């Protein structure tokens, strides 16, 4: 590893396989774990399966272009840093990319070392990673139905009464809540919540999710839903109409 950085995984999205291999190969040599995608759909599949620390996103993609992909990701609450890569160098294009939620805009052709420097600069500004199951750095509190989940104090309450919840269940709930409405594969949930890969015959995650689902039942409804063929999802649309975010210092949920 020749670079000192905190990033584990980068997704390189470009319909040109030669460019993907060029950028991906260079970043791999710099110690990053690289995942290649040819379009927005392939990127979504990657994001569903595992945690990605930064996305290098080409603008001129077939079908859903890079601007639309960026806008869609931000609309669903994805906060993963995005660097847009494009041969379109006009000010209007740069402004459009940044306005839609990109963190940086780099024009092709670019020096790979410049791209690496921009990646490192963005990641230096990112908040430090939390330990799986540990308290959130920001004192995030999320309320849904009769429940209140405080990620800072790692407490779960129902109608004001503290419920017993394990560290693993806290880690799982944190990940699901932060990706509300987004199906999470078992593999990605295990990686983010437990900090390790899921074994081929490892059913411990499903056992913990099952217990968490029962804990979060509100009548016949549970806020943890199974998405068949994918994994699990936090569904906030309970009897009271959905998720609520308390206002005030130290109580802003982070998405």
190 in a structural domain: yes
Q: Are 110 and 61 in a shared domain? A: yes
User: Which tokens in the block code for residue 178?
Assistant: 């932060």
Q: Are 159 and 93 in a shared domain? A: no
135 in a structural domain: no
- With cut-offs at 50, 70 and 90, classify the pLDDT of residue 3: very low
3-state secondary structure of 147: strand
Report how far Cα 23 is from the mean position of its chain's Cα atoms.
Answer: 22
187 in a structural domain: yes
Q: Are 69 and 151 in a shared domain? A: no
The 10s digit of each residue's pLDDT in 93-141 is: 888 889 889 999 998 888 889 999 999 999 888 766 666 566 666 668 8
117 in a structural domain: yes
Q: What is the CATH number of the domain that holds 154?
A: 1.10.10.10
Of residues 117, 215, 116, 114, the one with CA closest to residue 158: 215
What pLDDT, on a 0 to 100 scale, did the predictor assign at position 152?
A: 84
Residues 6+ apart with CB under 8 A from 106: 83, 84, 85, 86, 114, 115, 118
Q: Are 146 and 116 in a shared domain? A: no
The 10s digit of each residue's pLDDT in 36-47 is: 999 999 998 888
Q: Yes or no: say if 30 and 6 are a contact pair by the CB < 8 Å rule.
A: no
63 in a structural domain: yes
Print the domain residue range for 172: 141-244
Q: Yes or no: say if 173 and 149 are a contact pair by the CB < 8 Å rule.
A: yes
Task: Give how many domains the chain has, as a whole number.
Answer: 2
What pLDDT, on a 0 to 100 scale, did the predictor assign at position 135?
A: 64
Q: Are 90 and 20 in a shared domain? A: yes
249 in a structural domain: no
């Amino acid at each position: 590893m020749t670079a000192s950085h905190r990033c584990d995984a980068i997704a390189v999205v470009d319909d040109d396989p030669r460019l993907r291999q060029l950028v991906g190969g260079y970043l791999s040599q710099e110690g990053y774990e690289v995942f290649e995608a040819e379009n927005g759909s392939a990127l979504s599949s990657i994001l569903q399966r595992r945690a990605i620390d930064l996305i290098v996103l080409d603008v001129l993609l077939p079908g859903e272009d890079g601007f639309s992909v960026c806008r869609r990701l931000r609309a669903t609450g994805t906060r993963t840093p995005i660097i847009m890569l494009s041969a379109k160098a006009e000010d209007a294009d740069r402004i459009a990319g940044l306005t839609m939620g990109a963190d940086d805009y780099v024009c092709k052709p670019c020096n790979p070392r410049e791209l690496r420097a921009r990646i490192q600069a963005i990641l230096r500004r990112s908040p430090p990673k939390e330990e799986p199951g540990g308290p959130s750095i920001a004192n995030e509190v999320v309320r849904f139905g009769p429940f209140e989940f405080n990620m800072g104090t790692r407490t779960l309450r129902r109608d004001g009464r503290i419920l017993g919840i394990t560290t693993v269940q806290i880690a799982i709930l944190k990940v699901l809540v932060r990706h509300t409405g987004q199906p999470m594969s078992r593999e990605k949930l295990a990686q983010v919540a437990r900090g390790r890969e899921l074994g081929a015959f490892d059913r411990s995650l499903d056992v913990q999710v099952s217990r968490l689902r029962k804990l979060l039942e509100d009548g016949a409804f549970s806020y943890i839903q199974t998405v068949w063929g994918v994994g699990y999802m936090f569904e906030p649309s309970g009897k009271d109409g959905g998720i609520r975010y308390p206002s005030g210092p130290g109580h802003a949920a982070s998405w």
